Amino acid sequence: MAKKKKFTKTERREQRLRKARQWVLTYEGSHIVRAYRKHFKVDPICAIRDLEEIGAISPEKLANLKAAESARLEQKRKERERKQRQELFDRFPDSDNTFMYIAGYTSGGVPYGTTWAEMGLNPYEIPEDYDFYGGADVMPEPEHLLSSEQVELLFDYLTEQLDKHGCDNSLKFTVEWLNDQGFKPASADSVIEEIKKMGGYCDCEVIYNCYEDYDLA
């Protein structure tokens, strides 16, 4: 039996655009980007680019959509930065805006210790020789239970299965893929739990809700 050809991302996009040009002719709703995402199982940026490519949305609406998506991504970036700042504060638990290290308090409750100024630093500034990220130049990206390669394989599998069978509002194909890959039940359950935390409560949501957390944007 001949091995089925695996299409590249470019080939899959070309196929999707051909189908999209036919799909858009029959679409009668008022939320075309949302409908496109659900129908073709793609993320918001991909949907906007595809619809722009086939001329399905006006330049004015396109600008508004891009602005809205940029605002959403900016909010997500700010939330990541807030978490990073919180992690920084957590690494200096005995500090305040004056003292880098609070050794103790006087009987009147006044802190004493080593000040940021004495260290030649601004409040919560990281010393040059402080190994804050374990030798990395930037804060490490969060680790996931699936590797980047596994995520790519999972998304390819889901795209193929959803194109054939559609989504039944379950994680049937995600679980099927995990089983096929030899994940033990406990490990598979952990992956499913992680995916749900990203907003993937069914197979199609795994694709268009989890892509950013898996760094596939």
Q: What is the pLDDT of residue 71?
A: 79
Which residues have CB under 8 Å from 114's CB, separation 6+?
99, 100, 101, 103
- DSSP per-residue string spanning 29-41: SS-HHHHHHHHHT
Q: Whole-number mean pLDDT of the chain?
A: 79
Residue 8: φ, ψ to 5°: -75, 170
Burial class (CB in 10 A: 0-12, 13-18, 19+), 149: exposed
Angle at alpha carbon of residue 207, lines to 159 and 59, rounded to 5°: 100
**Lowest model confidence (mean pLDDT) among 66-70, 72-76, 86-90, 212-216:** 212-216
Residue 116 has pLDDT above 60, yes or no: yes
State how beta strands 111-115 and 99-105 pair: antiparallel
Q: What is the pLDDT of residue 129?
A: 56
pLDDT tens profile 177-189: 999 988 888 889 9
- Residue 172 and residue 188 in contact, taking contact as beta carbons nearer than 8 Å: no
Would you state the structure tokens that stand for residue 85, as one six-digit string? 């700042």
Q: Is the pTM of this model over 0.75?
A: no
Would you state the structure tokens that stand for residue 216, as one six-digit string? 């596939």
pLDDT tens profile 120-154: 878 777 656 555 445 444 444 457 888 878 888 88
pLDDT tens profile 17-42: 999 999 988 888 878 888 888 888 77
How many other C-beta atoms can be found within 10 angstroms of the C-beta atom of residue 146?
18
Domain boundaries, the chain: 9-71, 92-140, 148-210
